[in-house]
Structures are given as structure tokens and as C-alpha cells.
Structure 1
Amino acid sequence: MLKKRLLIVEDSKPIALVIEHMAKSVGYDVTIAHSLSEVKKLLAKDHNFFVATLDYGLPDASDGEVIPFIIEHDIPAIIMTGRMDDNTHKKLLNFPIVDYVTKENSQAYHYLMMLLHGQLTNHKIGVLVVDDSLTGRNHIQQLLLRRNFTVYCVSDGTKALKALDEKEDIKLVITNHEMPGMDGVELVQRIRRKFSRTEMIIIGVSNSKGNYQSARFIKNGADDFLRAPFCPEEFYCRVIQNIEKLQYIEEIESAVNSDYLTSISNRRYFVERVSKQLNNLEISDLIKVLAVVHIDDFKSINDKHKHEAGDEVLISFASLLSESFSEDDIVARLSGAEFAIFSVDEKSSGILEKLKKLQADSGKRSVKFGNININFTVSIGGLVTDTGDGIHESLAKAVEVLNGAMNKGKSQLLIEGATA
């Protein structure tokens, strides 16, 4: 995959090198220019840049002349400036820039790093804009597109609820209050019935002069509030801070639900998810297989090559396990060298084929540790389970089947109730 290209325009070589180091650390391919004349020569040949950082005051462009030149070439711009007064501030806000950063202290470069990383990753975050005013929708949409978010726009609450059902990437809803039919506060109430604060951010917007609107939105489930017309800076600050809050929560949940070594789901989360699936009436007529996988002779790998080598084998197999099953399946590390799989299909033969392939691919896998290559095999045991079966009882039974299979030797596969 080709890296996104960043153009750094900075007359200070030390600062340019700092920005270059930061940009490369988050995944950019970097080109540097030190003056407007260099930029003009460069863009005459190549203007395929994803984003640019621009020094406001260059030797041959002391008053921000580089900014409109870059914007004319459709390159999103982040402005770096060592000076800030009312006139400069007003001038910058009149440009359709990503943002500006004042070179005051090290915190400015942390902020720049956040901006650069966001331009690469914000497209993964869907934002739903709800406003019956086309002008209002377009204004917010353009602000969000500058930050590279994926934006969906609808004109009323009913369409908003439909969009939330259809678009799984939506993490933020920005809704106006004054809309015919379902107003913004009612929409917030309806959204909160389905999505908690740890799943969805809601920001209310109103141009009403009443001071109570912000409190109404917050009390009914919104995370934040903006009074229109608002300053783009305030808009970005509120959007980014709320998204960061949601991302922190997701990181905490991921740490709680993931195995510390392999990063796949842990036992607790596996039990929780499979338990829900076993009570899911939508899959009641499908075949459900719960299987437990054990790496054969794992203790001998640890004894012969030390625990660090064993860890590499576990990580390698976990990666293969994730690659071998789809997002609709549930995989996890239970403990030690024991892993679990929950898979649903119309026929058990389809699940058996996936398990056989996992077993065959494991035997072909070689884990490099220092100067040696470690090969391993796996045994699999489990059963066809049913809707309403208890997860703990099913898991215990799957382990029994696995132990019985392993008593016969290595590379065993036994799924009770499955037919080829």
C-alpha cells in the first residue's frame, strides 16, 4: 500500500526535520521545500500531495502568500506560524484550511502530530449530519471533509435513524434542534435507546437564543452542544475532544476484552459473546459449532526453546486463527496453548472444512526464533451446540472431546454431532 504524501514547507531546517520525523513515524512519505519559489517549481511538476504543513512566514512569502497557492492546487493545508494577532487569526480563518498551529512550545508539535495522524485515520469514522437546512448541512459537511471524516447528511430525524441502521461506521451524530416533525432533542432520545454514550457521540446544535437549549440536549443524552453560528475552531475542538473520549473508551474496552499476548479476544469476552449468540433466535436454525484448539506438545516447545519461543508460537497461531475465520465467527485464546472457536453455518460440513484447513495450515507454518525455525501442529475437539445451551457447559464438553481426541495422538480433529 502506497504511503500518503506530505509536503512540508518550512524555512527553518531544524523545524522541518522535526516535522519530517513526526510525519514518518505516523506513516507519511515526506517532501520538503524551504521557500515559495521551491514550492512553485515542485508543484509545476508534481502536485499529488495528500496534505501540506505550511510555514506562514517564508523568506520570499512573509505574509502567508504560500497558503492560497497551495489551496489552489487542492492540497489540504495545516499552517505553522510563529506569530498570532487578530489580523493573522482572522486571515487564517478565512482560508479553507485544516487548522493552524502556533509555534509556542512542544505542545504545539503534539497537536500537529494529532492533526497529521487524524488526516490519515479520520476516514474510518462516519459522521452523520442532521439538519433540514441545506445550507447548514453543507457548511458542517465541508468542515468535516477538511478533516477527512466520512460524512453522511440527512434532512430529518426519521432519515437519521434509518442511516444509523444502515451505516455501521457512524460514531458521531451532529443534529440541529429546529427541525420539522422530530426535533433534535427527540432524535437524541431515540438514538440513546439504541446506542449508549460509549458507542455513539451526539452533539446538538441550535441557533435559538434561549440559554436552556444546551441543558435540554445534555440532559436528554447529548454529549455536547454548539450554538450556531459557531466558530470553526470551536467546532473542531468539540468534535475532536469528543471523538478522543470515545476512542479512549474503546481502547480501555479492547484492553479488557483482549488477550495481553496475542491481541485476540480473551476467555471472558469469548464467553460473553458466545453466550449472546447461543440465545440469538436469528441463528436458531443454523448449525453452531464450539471448538477448542490446543497446540500439540506445547510444553516441550517451552522446555526446549524457552518461554519466549513459546510466546512467538502462540502469537503466530493466533494470527493464523484470525486469518482463517471471518468476522462473523468468534475466536479467542482461553489460556496457555488453548484457543476457542465459535462458528455458525448452514451445514456442519462447511465448518469442518475450515477447521481442517486451519489444522493443515498450522502444520505448514514455521516460526522463526533466533537462528531456529519452530514447527508445530494442533489438535481440535468440540461439538455441535444449540440455541439455549449454556456456554460454560458447552465449553467444558468441548474440552472433554478435545482431551479424548488428544489421547489418540497429535493433529487430531473430532467434532461431536458434525457430519462431513
Structure 2
Amino acid sequence: MKKLLVIEDNKSVASVIEHIGTSAGYEVTVAHSFAQVKALLAKQRDFFIATVDYSLPDAYDGEVIPYVLDHDIPSVIMTGRMDDKIHRKLLQLPIVDYITKENSQAYRYLLKVLHGHLTNHKISVLVVDDSLSARQHFCRLLKRRNFTVYDQPDGNKALQTLEKHPSIKLLITDQEMPGMSGVELVQTIRKKHPERDLVIIGCSGVKDDFQSARFIKNGANDFLKKPFCMEEFYCRILKSIEELRYIEKIKATADSDYLTPLLNRRAFIEKMNNDFTDVIENELSYIFAVLHINNFKEINDNYGQDGEDLVLVELAKLLKAHFTSQPLARLDGSKFACLASGLETEEIEASITEFTKLVSQHNISFKEQTITFSISLGGTAVNKQTSAKQWFEQAEQALQQAQRKTGTQVVINGLAELAKDNEQVSLA
């Protein structure tokens, strides 16, 4: 656990911040005075972040802030008083943020800041500006908030970096650059990266009123006018990241099966179509499989809706555990799908057969009863199909063959043809 240092003389406020820090996932240490901070930091310095009260009984005018910063601890300043002098002073310091202790909204904002400091490293940001000093300034501000940062001096190099690092979720670009302007860069990026996948913020120091509209009309999410205030920069960045996370959450909800943690039919088919070329050209072997729970109606008749749902959830868990990191879906009702991969087709076939046996041996405890079930599975060896649609058609046909038989059955078509093709390639 990352460590949070809470410096606050008001014990009630300190207790609230401690609770917020704990709920965000921190191990919290509290100090109530500047003297306690000095004694604490003399022994311990591995704090990930600190909340620092501006006024302490023995440090009324913010003297504790530079002391904590000198120990390389990122700091969020909490203050109960604010005027122009204090505001200017705080903006000149390399702090994470400042929060005025006015109402409950301030503490909700603090939770966002603390949570963001734990998770922002997962978000990569690309800064594009031909001015070295401007790039360095952007990067310092972003790293202060714990983002992973890349920077490039022009549009062409920015496109290469974007291609190399798909984890980049935010791009900040200047307008006036040699070779490719910021607006041209935005236009090029939007051909491949929609707004739901990548946030773009344009910026410019030119005093033209139309620059912001020009950027946004060409696909940017927001605009910053240089020079900008640190506060405005962070507000715009965090708002954009929050919107991106919200969109990702909506998309994840839309793509997921309502009962199990697997993809739903629509999202899975979309993924298979998108991945089709990579799968066909990949050196790995693949079997696309569709599986169905045998006698599923009887499970509902014997155990009701709750028992039926439990079987579906358990099967999804077994799939995730057995076919680790491989595409899985609940297609509908009691039908699931998997794109299983391995070095050899025989290896995948053995794994699939092993899975069906594992399912038939699995016992589920339900209301002092034990539920057992089995599956039938139809698959096709992925080789020369012209579309992912053919995977489904061929696997469904194989499943129908398996279901005509009794008990747990596995039918995988196309293995002989694949072996023959591989033999011909080997002889050639």
C-alpha cells in the first residue's frame, strides 16, 4: 500500500481526511503539528503523497509546505483561509493541488485527487510542441500529477509515438509547428482515433480568437491559450480524463454480459471481426469454439432462476480460469464462445477436451444442494476462412453435431484439412 501523510491540526478534519485516504487505498499516518512532521520525517520519508494544512499552531503562514516539498513528497495543500497573497504563493509552489476547506464538495474533490495520484500512471500523455521549454513545462505539470508522459517536437514524430504506444489516452499539441500544424495533426489523428479513445487538447500562443473554434471543429476536445494558469491546466486535463473514463465505463457496460464478466454477443463479434486479419496471419494455431450447457431447462426446473444464474456465472469463471487471457463471450442463454490459441492445434484440442471434463466434474453448492452439469462443444480449426462470420457458422454446425450425441461431447471440424495443409507446406 502507498503511504499518505496527513498534516492537520484539527483532529476532526484529520479524521475525515484519514477516512478518505483509507477508502482510496492508502496507508495513512497523521501529524498534528510542524514539530511532529519534523520528528516523523527524520525517521520516515517513503510517503507517496501528503495533505498539508496551510496553517498549523507552530507554522501559521505555510512554513510546513516547503519543508515537506524539500523531502520530495508530492503535496495537496488544505487551507481554511484564502486571499490573493496566499493564492499567488500556492500557484508558485510545485504542489499537486490546493483545496479550500469550505464544504463537503472539497473533500469529494480531495478523494478524486488522491485516487488519481494512485492511478494516473496508467494513463499515458503525449505532449507535442516544437518549443523545448514549453514541452518541459507541460511535462513537469503532468508528472506532478503522476501521469506517464511522452513528448515530441513535431507532428510526424508524434504520429510515430502514438502508433508505438497505444496506452496514450491524452494528447496536447501546439498549433504553430514546422512541417505539420497542430490542427493538421488533429485531422490526421482523428482518421484513426475517435474521440472516445483519445482526448486531444490544442493550444496556441497566437492572439487569434478563432484558434479554439478551429481546433475543436477539426476534432480536438478542448483548447488552452498560452500562457495559461496552472489551475486552469489541471482543471481541463482532469475534466478530459474524467470524461474519457466515463465513456470507457459506458462502453465496458455496453460490451459486457449483464450476468457474467464476459463480453456479450455484439461486442464479441465486433472483436472477432477486428482481430480477424491478425489471427489469420499469426503464427499461433487457433480453434474457435461454441459451447452449450446440456439440459439447461432442467436446471431451471429443478433449481429455479437463482440456480440457473449460478450455473452460468460458474461456467464463466471456469472459462476465464482455464482459457486465461483468451477472448471469451456469453453469446445468449446458455451458449458461450471462445477463441482458443496455442502453438499446436493438437495442444488446443487437448485443452478443450480437458475443459469439458473439468466442467462435468465441477460441483456447485446451492441451498444445501449440489448442482452438476455438462456441456457440448463444437469448434472449427481457424485456417482459410474468409471472415469471422464463417467461424461462427462452422462452430455452430459442429455444436449441432455434438448435441445429437449423448452426454458431454466435443466435435471440432477442420482439423484434418489443417493437418493436410500443414503437411503440404512442410513438404514444399
Same fold at TM > 0.5: yes
Between the aligned partners of 2:369 and 2:46, the Cα distance in structure 1 is 45
What do the CA deviations read for 1:51-96 (whole angstroms, capped 9, x no partner)? 1111112222222222112111111111111111111111111111
TM-score, normalised via structure 1 length: 0.90
- The 5-angstrom pairing of residues 1-400 of structure 1 reads 3-278=1-276, 283=281, 287-325=285-323, 327=325, 329-343=326-340, 347-362=344-359, 367=364, 369=366, 376-385=373-382, 389=386, 391=388, 394-400=391-397
CA-based RMSD of the aligned residues comes to 2.6
Between the aligned partners of 2:316 and 2:196, the Cα distance in structure 1 is 28
1:175 is paired with a residue whose SS is: strand
1:395 is paired with a residue whose SS is: helix
Of 405, 412, 417, the residue aligned with 1:415 is: 412
Instruction: Tell me whether 167-176 or 246-255 shows the greater mean CA deviation.
Output: 246-255
Q: Which letter maps to 1:332? A: A
Q: Which letter maps to 1:256? A: A
Q: Which letter maps to 2:61? A: D
Q: Which letter maps to 1:381? A: G
How far residue 46 of structure 1 moved from its aligned partner, in angstroms, is 1.4
Q: Which letter maps to 1:337? A: S
Gaps spanning 5+ residues in structure 2: where?
420-428
1:208 is paired with a residue whose SS is: coil
How far residue 228 of structure 1 moved from its aligned partner, in angstroms, is 1.2
What is aligned with 2:424? none
Contact 1:11 1:34 in 2 (8 A): yes
Q: Which letter maps to 1:349? A: E
Q: 1:373 to 1:74 in 2, by over 3 A?
A: farther
Q: 1:38 to 1:196 in 2, by over 3 A?
A: same
1:265 is paired with a residue whose SS is: coil
What is aligned with 1:402? 399
Between the aligned partners of 2:33 and 2:364, the Cα distance in structure 1 is 50
TM-score, normalised via structure 2 length: 0.89
What do the CA deviations read for 1:258-290 (whole angstroms, capped 9, x no partner)? 101112100111122223444669638875432
2:191 is paired with a residue whose SS is: helix
Q: Which letter maps to 2:106? A: A
Q: 1:79 to 1:377 in 2, by over 3 A?
A: farther
Contact 2:201 2:224 in 1 (8 A): yes
Q: 1:361 to 1:192 in 2, by over 3 A?
A: same
Contact 2:280 2:383 in 1 (8 A): no
Contact 1:280 1:387 in 2 (8 A): no
Gaps spanning 5+ residues in structure 1: where?
none
Q: 1:376 to 1:30 in 2, by over 3 A?
A: farther
Between the aligned partners of 2:368 and 2:38, the Cα distance in structure 1 is 52
How far residue 233 of structure 1 moved from its aligned partner, in angstroms, is 0.5
Between the aligned partners of 1:269 and 1:64, the Cα distance in structure 2 is 53
What is aligned with 2:422? none
Instruction: Tell me whether 22-31 or 71-80 shows the greater mean CA deviation.
Output: 22-31
What do the CA deviations read for 1:185-216 (whole angstroms, capped 9, x no partner)? 21111111111111111111111122222222
Contact 2:76 2:95 in 1 (8 A): yes
Q: Which letter maps to 2:199? A: I
1:194 is paired with a residue whose SS is: coil
What do the CA deviations read for 1:213-257 (whole angstroms, capped 9, x no partner)? 222222222111111111111001111111111221111111111
1:291 is paired with a residue whose SS is: strand
Between the aligned partners of 1:64 and 1:395, the Cα distance in structure 2 is 66
Q: 1:275 to 1:63 in 2, by over 3 A?
A: same
Q: 1:95 to 1:364 in 2, by over 3 A?
A: farther
Between the aligned partners of 1:338 and 1:332, the Cα distance in structure 2 is 9
Q: 1:281 to 1:380 in 2, by over 3 A?
A: closer
Between the aligned partners of 1:26 and 1:376, the Cα distance in structure 2 is 41
1:111 is paired with a residue whose SS is: helix
- Aligned-pair identity (%): 50
Between the aligned partners of 2:109 and 2:93, the Cα distance in structure 1 is 20
Q: Which letter maps to 1:8? A: V
Q: 1:282 to 1:301 in 2, by over 3 A?
A: closer
